[in-house]
Amino acid sequence: MNDSKLTFKEMCAKFEVTPRTLRYYEYIELLQPERHGRSRYYGPRECARMTLILRGRKFGFQLEELRQWLLIYDKEGTQTQMGVFLNMADRKLVELEEQQKLLDETIQELKALRKTTQALLT
Amino acid sequence: MIDEDIMTIRQMCEAFEVTARTLRFYEAKELISPIRQGQKRLFTKRDRARLKLILRGKKFGFSLEDIRQLLEMYYMEDQQATQLTKTFQLANKRLEELKIQRDELDETIRELEAQIEWGAEFMRSKNIPPTV
């Protein structure tokens, strides 16, 4: 067994994810750890993919979107993958800014509500 | 029962832009209590006033349980003092939560912008023109 590979447990600890998450990512083919009987081993490729997946999740990308995006790397290499990422990221940025706007509106409305109720109470 | 103030479920859906399913759900949760005539539901002015409050509360992100409590407080004979106090507290709590959300969102946006910048730099270094 290669020492540089992480066990299932080590992988969970390294990325701060639950066993359930890790198994699920494997189930939907985001990760393909080496299997030896019931044990799983994760090499640099799985670690790199995991980093990208978690970062993508943080930005709000869907797992399926990320799966397809990771396939591009395998098929067409880094540069195409980066180009696709930039397009995805630009679209996501617009979405996040829209969320920001809605959040601000709700915050303003809540402030107004708080002010009105306070005025009626005093 | 012919009453101008009574609305059918379809009229309610149109007036409040909600689905029939939502109205049935609120009814099951006892937030509204339309008159039942066999399969038909008839919504009164009271139901509409309550629905308006429910939707407003939902928009603020109040839980249905909080909303239910607010609605019950309307019937306390204290000039709405309890209801107003509760509303004020909920607004305060929700405001704090949303401010945290807003900070987290700002942080995510900054990180995404940094990633985009880094990616664009990478593409420039490879002499790849930006795609549309």
Per residue in B27-53, pLDDT (tens digit) is 999 999 999 998 899 999 999 999 999
Token digits of residue A73: 């790397």
pLDDT tier, B110 (very low <50, low <70, confident <90, very high otherwise): very high
Residues contacting A102, CB < 8 A, separation 6+: none
- What is the rounded CA–CA span in Å between residue A103 and residue A60? 16
Residues in A touching B66 (Cβ below 8 Å): none
Q: Quote the minimal CA–CA distance from A112 to chain B in Å.
A: 9
**Does the beta-carbon distance from A118 to B131 stay under 8 Å?**
no
Q: Are A96 and B98 in contact (CB < 8 Å)?
A: no
Q: Which residues of A58-85 are buried (b: 16+ CB within 10 A; e: fewer)?
A: ebebeeeebbebbebbeeeeeeebbbbb
Please provide the DSSP assignment of B27-49 as one string: HHTTS--PEEETTEEEE-HHHHH
Asked if A5 reaches chain B (Cβ–Cβ under 8 Å), the answer is no
pLDDT over threshold 90, residue A51: yes
The answer to whether the Cβ–Cβ distance between B112 and A103 falls below 8 Å is no
pLDDT at A4 > cutoff 90: no
Give pLDDT, residue A63.
Answer: 96
Which pLDDT score is estimated for A97? 97
Of all residues in chain B, the percent with pLDDT exceeding 70 is 95
pLDDT of residue B87: 93
Q: Which two tokens stand for residue B103?
A: 């900070």
Find which of A73, A106, A116 to mutate to test the B interface (most B CBs within 10 Å of its CB).
A106
**Is the pTM higher than 0.90?**
no
C-alpha–C-alpha distance, residues A96 and B77, integer Å:
45
> Quick count: other Cβ atoms within 10 Å of Cβ A111?
12
Q: What is the ipTM, given to two decimal places?
A: 0.81
Q: Chain A partners of B98 at a C-beta cutoff of 8 Å?
A: 103, 106-107, 110
Average of per-residue pLDDT across B7-14:
95
- Evaluate whether B60 touches A110 at the Cβ level (below 8 Å): yes
pLDDT at residue number B127: 79
| CB < 8 Å to A112, chain B | none
Residue A29 is given by DSSP the state T
- pLDDT higher than threshold 80 for residue B15: yes
Per-residue pLDDT averaged across A93-114, rounded? 95
Q: Give the separation between CA B22 and CA A95, rounded to whole angstroms.
A: 27
Q: Do A106 and B131 touch (CB under 8 A)?
A: no
Residue A47 has pLDDT above 90, yes or no: yes
